[in-house]
Amino acid sequence: MNVLIIGSGAREHALAWKLSKSPRVERIFSAPGNAGTAQLGTNWPDLTPTTGPELARRASEERIDLAVIGPEAALAAGVSDALRVAGITVFGPSRAGARLESSKAFAKHFLERHSIPTARYRVVHDQRHAERALEHFDDGVVLKADGLAAGKGVVVCADAAEARPILAQWYGERKLPGGGTSIVMEERLEGREVSVMAVLDGVRCVALAGACDYKRAGDGDTGPNTGGMGAYSPAHDVLDELGLKRIQNLVIGPALEGLKRDGIDYRGCLYAGLMMTTRGPMVLEFNARFGDPETEVVLPRLESDLFDLLYAAASGQLDEATMPTFSTSACVGVVLTSDGYPQASRAVHGLPAFTPLEDESTVGFWGGSTLRGAVVDASGGRVLTVCALGADLAEARKGAYEAAARYEKLLPEGVVIRYRSDIAERCAEPVR
């Protein structure tokens, strides 16, 4: 089988790495790909992830058997629709299904319409409307830009006084992340966050292993929101096996039924960002694709064949034979970023390759980057996600930070990378 992976980040590198281990996969193509995917197959650096007609034409020429779409922008642009019209089997929902992520207002209405637990909310379209809506949120409010904002369109405010300057900036200065004019305002929930990714084939669904990610730039969940600074799996400190089944019954299953009732044939990954509250699990957000960096810590634990799972879902044929199985090992991932991220994404040149351990208990997944001979040029931002497996989270955390420290020592003079030092600290022994 020939597989096309659309995207250029660490998530896409992780997908390519896991798919390359399938005996059914012969060739892997990535558009545009990165330094990691270049070592696993063929990159198409001339194609951007949102160019549906061009991707469909190239995929047809190369006789692609399965296309896997990574980034949300590609799904929102209807790339899956263009590929399907060309006769390509696609793992990734249509543009209609991707609205669960591309519009937070659409997602909240969907959740309410199909009785899926979520926070109380209001949707506003101008500053005056937003100011009035603040009266309904006495215990803090979460402001969410409606459109795609690369993980940077959410601000948690303790009270109205904290929210007003954000609203003034977004509306008064016309700096609403992702563009548009709509904002979702919702009650601030208390609890622990957890991510659950599920695979849907239009009729059936199966939840994957749970994971916890870290969105803030600094230790102790300080600083601005980012696309993700690290993650760990399993998330047994937040969600045990019984809890995962409950999520399947309360969230994933009802979401699939809601999609069917709405006439949407959803074949791809549905990511549920959840807050575990005293009232039960509440959906914070839906994403229409694999999470990043959650994918990087879930896939190393996957023991079954990833190609079989994705191809079955894309073909509408999920069954017992293709159900995923996971090891009892834990995995921790630490994201290494360029200096100044997320406010600035400075390019970093001449980086050494990351060498996995022989047993692949430690692996590295490149973000946006190109391979230049034996070195890597990174476009900046999230440069490399270093992941380690261990018997438990403490061992995995130790391995990830030791690997990050080893890699840091190999950097050229003058190159600075940053990473949080507290990934998985809350559920594992401190690094010695």
Bond preceding residue 45 cis, omega within 30 of 0: no
Least trusted range by pLDDT, from 9-18, 174-183, 416-425:
174-183
Residue 83 φ/ψ region, left for φ over 0, alpha for ψ in the -120 to 50 degree band, beta for the rest: alpha
Q: Is the pLDDT of residue 432 over 80?
A: no
Q: Is the pLDDT of residue 284 over 80?
A: yes
CA angle 284, 296, 395 (to 5 degrees): 105
Q: What is the mean pLDDT of residues 111-140?
A: 94
pLDDT tens by residue, 368-413: 999 999 999 999 999 999 999 999 999 999 999 999 999 999 999 9
pLDDT at 20: 98
Q: Is the pLDDT of residue 178 over 90?
A: no
Q: How confident is the model at residue 431 (pLDDT cuts 50, 70, 90)?
A: very low
Q: What is the mean pLDDT of residues 223-250?
A: 92
pLDDT at 429: 54
Q: Is the pLDDT of residue 151 over 80?
A: no
Note the pTM of the prediction, 2 decimals: 0.95
Q: Please tell me which residue, 360 or 20, carries the higher pLDDT value.
A: 20
pLDDT at 117: 97
pLDDT tens by residue, 252-282: 999 999 999 999 999 999 999 999 999 999 9
Bond preceding residue 293 cis, omega within 30 of 0: yes
pLDDT at 9: 97
Three state DSSP letters for the chain: CEEEEEECCHHHHHHHHHHCCCCCCCEEEEEECCHHHHCCCEECCCCCCCCHHHHHHHHHHCCCCEEEECCHHHHHCCHHHHHHHCCCCEECCCHHHHHHHHCHHHHHHHHHHCCCCECCEEEECCHHHHHHHHHHCCCCEEEEECCCCCCCCEEEECCHHHHHHHHHHHHHCCCCCCCCCCEEEEECCCCEEEEEEEEEECCCEEECCCEEEEEEEECCCEEEEEEEEEEEECCCCCCCHHHHHHHHHHHHHHHHHHHHHCCCCCEEEEEEEEEEECCEEEEEEEECCCCCCHHHHHHHHECCCHHHHHHHHHCCCCCHHHCCCECCCEEEEEEEEECCCCCCCCCEEEEECCCCCCCCCEEEEECCEEEECCEEEECCCEEEEEEEEECCHHHHHHHHHHHHHHHHHCCCCCCCEECCCCCCHHHCCCCC
pLDDT at 276: 95
Instruction: Please give the mean pLDDT across all residues of the chain.
Output: 94
